[in-house]
């Protein structure tokens, strides 16, 4: 009797241990409900009216086009350079009182309004005020998304977003998570979430970093819509190191390691051609770069390469970078188009042709 009881006990213990192992395996292989919720929240898609807020803005104009890159929270220098270019009347004091003086012209900012400098909120407020002011005069203001805006929207706790996060909490008493979710009372989050990723104006394509991977305009638009709708601002097309808002020039994103400069240039030309344009204008990169055949871009200077194929307009204007006082690219439309760099403390410089 004792022997039978011992055998049964051992079998029961063995069965219990096997069940325990199985349960342990299930728990290891299947994340907890809280972990699943966290993962889903991180990669959750967003609902956006792509007709009202397109991924790529497309505009034709007979009027002049102005472009500025990467204000990075330096409100004073941004206002100074826009006033020098006669886009605004001067320092408005409160950004909401800005006066548009460029008539039917267009102004493009290629992103990175925020971080590094201390006045990202005033920079955002300036562009938000300029949009209706320009529209009233028959002009238009477009701001495309930079990598700093994309990073903040994807994760307001990210290290790269610290400056803007601190400004939101200390100066505006806003919860950064609510801003990133588009739920703040001032509408800052909704403005950032609805930014286009790129803009096509006449023969010119504007984007923060510019790497389209050779997509056509239609494919680029569709891929952005699908990726962001599915994955939110964690979308690979926004966060990948070689994305349209993150790609760098060291090394050149259009040239593979094994290729010659001529082959890289041909690839860049094919990317631009696939978009149906002739010129690519990017911000994001204010530094020193050497292109093929000894062509050299000095840091802080507006620059074009390959006979106007690509323009670099990030001049490192924010005093936290301090490569320059800033500049505006002035694109003269018409039968004989040309592009000129306008500086606040120096004479204009024709960049192209």
Give residue-wise pLDDT tens across range 275-330: 999 999 999 999 999 888 778 999 999 999 999 999 999 999 999 999 999 999 99
Q: What is the pLDDT of residue 45?
A: 84
pLDDT-based confidence at residue 6 (cuts at 50, 70, 90): very low
Q: What is the pLDDT of residue 32?
A: 36
**Omega of the bond prior to 353 within 30 degrees of 0, cis?**
yes
Q: What is the pLDDT of residue 206?
A: 99
H helix runs in 52-113, sequence order: 75-84
Question: 200 pairs with which residues across the strands?
Answer: 58, 205
Which strands make up the sheet holding 279-282, listed edge to edge? 56-59, 198-201, 204-207, 279-282, 310-312, 303-305
Q: What is the pLDDT of residue 293?
A: 77
Residue 252, pLDDT > 60, answer yes
Q: What is the pLDDT of residue 44?
A: 72
The token duo for 209 is 């970093």
Of the candidate ranges 36-40, 91-95, 104-108, 162-166, the one whose mean pLDDT is the lowest: 36-40
Residue 35, pLDDT > 50, answer no
Tokens 């806003």: give the residue. Answer: 174
Residue 41, pLDDT > 70, answer no
Q: Give the whole-angstrom CA distance, residue 35 versus residue 46.
A: 20
Contact 309, 268 (CB under 8 A): yes
Q: What is the pLDDT of residue 1?
A: 40
Long-range contacts of 258-261 (CB under 8 A, 24+ apart): 261/291, 261/292, 261/293
Cα 213 from chain centre = 16
Give residue-wise pLDDT tens across range 160-201: 999 999 999 999 999 999 999 999 999 999 999 999 999 999
Long-range contacts of 340-343 (CB under 8 A, 24+ apart): 341/301, 341/302, 342/81, 342/84, 342/85, 343/81, 343/84
Domains of the chain: 48-352 (3.60.21.10)
Give residue-wise pLDDT tens across range 119-149: 999 999 999 999 999 999 999 999 999 999 9
Express the helix, strand and coil content of the chain in percent, nearest 5 each.
40, 15, 45
Q: Give the whole-angstrom CA distance, residue 76 versus residue 95.
A: 11
């Amino acid at each position: 009797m004792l022997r039978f009881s011992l055998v049964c006990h051992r079998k029961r213990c063995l069965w219990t241990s096997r069940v325990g192992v199985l349960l342990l395996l299930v728990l290891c292989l299947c994340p907890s409900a809280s972990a699943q919720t966290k993962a889903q929240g991180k990669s959750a898609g967003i609902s956006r009216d792509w007709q009202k807020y397109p991924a790529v803005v497309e505009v034709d104009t007979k009027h002049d086009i102005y472009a500025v890159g990467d204000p990075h929270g330096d409100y004073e220098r941004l206002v100074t350079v826009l006033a020098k270019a006669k886009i605004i009347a001067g320092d408005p004091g409160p950004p909401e009182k800005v006066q548009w003086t460029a008539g039917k012209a267009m102004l493009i900012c290629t992103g990175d309004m925020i971080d590094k400098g201390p006045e990202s909120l005033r920079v955002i407020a300036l562009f938000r005020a300029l949009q209706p002011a320009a529209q009233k005069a028959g002009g238009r203001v477009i701001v495309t998304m930079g990598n700093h805006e994309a990073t903040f929207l994807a994760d307001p706790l990210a290290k790269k977003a610290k400056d803007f996060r601190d400004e939101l909490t200390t100066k505006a008493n806003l919860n950064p998570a609510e801003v990133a979710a588009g739920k703040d009372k001032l509408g800052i989050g909704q403005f950032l979430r609805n930014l286009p990723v790129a803009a096509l104006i006449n023969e010119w394509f504007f984007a923060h970093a510019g790497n389209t991977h050779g997509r056509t305009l239609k494919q680029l638009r569709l891929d952005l819509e699908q990726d962001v709708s599915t994955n939110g601002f964690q979308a690979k097309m926004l966060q990948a190191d070689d994305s349209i808002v993150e790609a760098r020039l060291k090394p050149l994103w259009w040239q593979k390691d094994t290729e010659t400069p001529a082959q890289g240039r041909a690839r860049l030309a094919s990317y631009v051609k696939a978009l149906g344009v002739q010129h690519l204008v990017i911000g994001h990169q204010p530094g020193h770069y050497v292109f093929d055949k000894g062509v050299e871009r000095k840091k802080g200077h507006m620059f074009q390469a390959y006979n106007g194929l690509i323009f670099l307009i990030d001049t490192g204007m924010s005093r936290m970078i301090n490569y320059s006082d800033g500049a505006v690219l002035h694109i003269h439309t018409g039968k004989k188009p040309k592009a000129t760099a306008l500086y606040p403390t120096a004479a204009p410089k024709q960049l192209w042709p």
